[in-house]
Amino acid sequence: MAAAIITDLGGISSFDLHGNPTTVGARWKKWKRSFELFIVGKGVKNAAQKKALLLHCGGPQMQDVYYTFPEAREPGEGETVYTVAMEQLDQYFTPQVNVPYERHLFRTMAQFPTESVDQFITRLRERAEYCEFGDAKDENIRDQIIEKCMSSRLRRKLLEKGRGLTLEQLQNTARSMEASDRQAEAIENPNEGLTKGLNSVQEKTEGKRCYRCDMSGHTQDDKRCPARNKECRKCHKVGHFAKCCKTKKAKDPNDKKPWRKKPRGPRDTKRSVNQINSEDSPDSEYAFTIVDGKQPMVQVNVGGVPNVAMIVDSGASCNVIDRNLWEELKQNKVKCASMKSNKKLYPYGSVEPLKTAGCFVATVTVQNVTVEAEFTVIEGRGQALLGRETATQLNVLYLGEEVRVNVLRQEDIFDKYKSCFEGLGKLKDFQLDIPIDQNVKPVAQPMRRVPFSMRDKLEQKLNELVSLDVIERAEGPTRILTLKFSETR
């Protein structure tokens, strides 16, 4: 039989043998399935050509492995050189499937916030292929969905059905519940689609500017406009910025530099994130532009990594860090739970969301206060933001009237006036006068001998009293004192 001539190999990506050794068996099954679909699509039926394509598409690494095998046996009845080669590769890769490890990965799988139950079941089925569940595969998938689904209402509904619940019944229940939730949300929040569908109306808003704030991407009726509730510094009316004010300004003859409107380019909105404002939609966040000036900074401990500088932002509804800080935290072995990002961060006045790398949950500590908070990682560079809710929980942000009370501690006074609390203390401009009765005859007593072991301590005490100006060193010899003995003894 003549072999078909393949003019366009095209092909699939080569098989990576040097990846994670615990998943090489699972990756081999996926690659093998892709290769079999490839040769069927190419219409290759000759066994020798299939074998050649297998080694060619597998890449040099697979070829090195294959040619280290013992000499291939002759194909038996119903076998070909291709099936024999595939059998040898299966025997090489399949024993490397670690079933307990694959089952551990299966048990840790959970539904993503933006994932439907059908999509979750698809991921579970893919992982279950390597767990060797056998006939109990559907039961294990059912149990995993009940345990790890996002909706507690769905979980209670499924538990009501008891042991007789099948995977098909679970899918039907989940589909109807998800559909009813979407329909009820559409009825209750008819304007919700406006925020999520900004990209669909980009052409209509392109080039238009809001007359309140002079920014593009929204209209003057949008409640997200930053100037909506702001007072104009020119006319003192609420609802627009001074640069957009239409009130004519009186001419000042002494003013040599008339006020001019600063031109604003179309790229001014593409700046670093400073404030994040949460809208009604849980999937959308909005970022405002940077405000020049000093920002309130705080040093926090994130997941065991100390001294992480963050800006306390009372207008931010979530915590944000950039990719560089995230890499630095990983190098310092931050303790956190990573997850995929399901939030969209929009620079204010733009319909292009910021690129997010993901989210993670970690403990945040400031002084003696510790809370658990979620952080969103964005691509690029920018200042780390500590959101309103987390900052309030950490007691670094207070909302309401500010009351300042200067509390003086005893230790603070001692530290500030340390010299005043050292030594015995003296009275300024005061000389002590010790009253002495002049009628009393003074008596001289002989000096006592000091034990040798006490001489150093006595010398130290005398020096201390001299330094405190309690005693003075006497100059000259002391008076001679003679002892009188009684003759009648």
pLDDT tens by residue, 132-180: 888 899 999 999 999 999 888 999 989 988 888 999 999 999 999 999 9
Query: Can you tell me whether residue 301 is helix, strand or coil?
Result: strand
260 lies in a domain?
A: no
DSSP state of 306: E
- Check if the beta carbon of residue 337 is closer than 8 Å to that of residue 346: no
424 lies in a domain?
A: no
Q: Are residues 389 and 449 in the same domain?
A: no
pLDDT tens by residue, 336-351: 888 777 677 766 556 6
172 lies in a domain?
A: yes
- Is the model's pLDDT at 8 over the cut of 60? no
Write out the residue range of the structural domain in which residue 379 sits. 297-394
316 lies in a domain?
A: yes
- Check if the beta carbon of residue 227 is closer than 8 Å to that of residue 244: yes
Give the residue with greater pLDDT, 278 vs 352: 352
Residue 316 one-letter amino acid: A
- Check if the beta carbon of residue 232 is closer than 8 Å to that of residue 182: no
Q: Is 401 exposed, middle or buried, given 0-12, 13-18 or 19+ CB atoms closer than 10 A?
A: exposed
Q: Are residues 111 and 154 in the same domain?
A: yes
Instruction: Provide the strand spans (E) within 332-427.
Output: 337-339, 344-347, 356-366, 369-378, 385-386
Q: Are residues 43 and 125 in the same domain?
A: no
Q: Are residues 304 and 370 in the same domain?
A: yes
47 lies in a domain?
A: yes
Q: What is the 3-state secondary structure (H, E, C) of 33-95?
A: HHHHHHHHHHCCCCHHHHHHHHHHHHCHHHHHHHCCCCCCCCCCCCCCHHHHHHHHHHHHHHH
Residue after which a domain boundary falls, among 75, 94, 113 = 94
For residue 356, what is the domain's CATH number?
2.40.70.10
For residue 163, what is the domain's CATH number?
1.10.1200
Residue with tokens 């931010």, as numbered in its chain: 316
Residues 6+ apart with CB under 8 A from 330: none
285 lies in a domain?
A: no
- Per cent of the chain over pLDDT 90 is 10
Q: For the chain, what is the domain count?
A: 4
- Is the model's pLDDT at 256 over the cut of 50? no
CA atoms within 13 A of residue 252's CA, in its CB half-sphere:
7
pLDDT tens by residue, 60-109: 888 888 888 877 667 777 788 888 888 888 888 876 567 888 889 899 99
Q: How far apart are CA 141 and CA 127, in angstroms?
A: 10
Query: Can you tell me whether residue 115 is helix, strand or coil?
Result: coil
User: pLDDT tier at 127 (50, 70, 90 boundaries)?
Assistant: confident
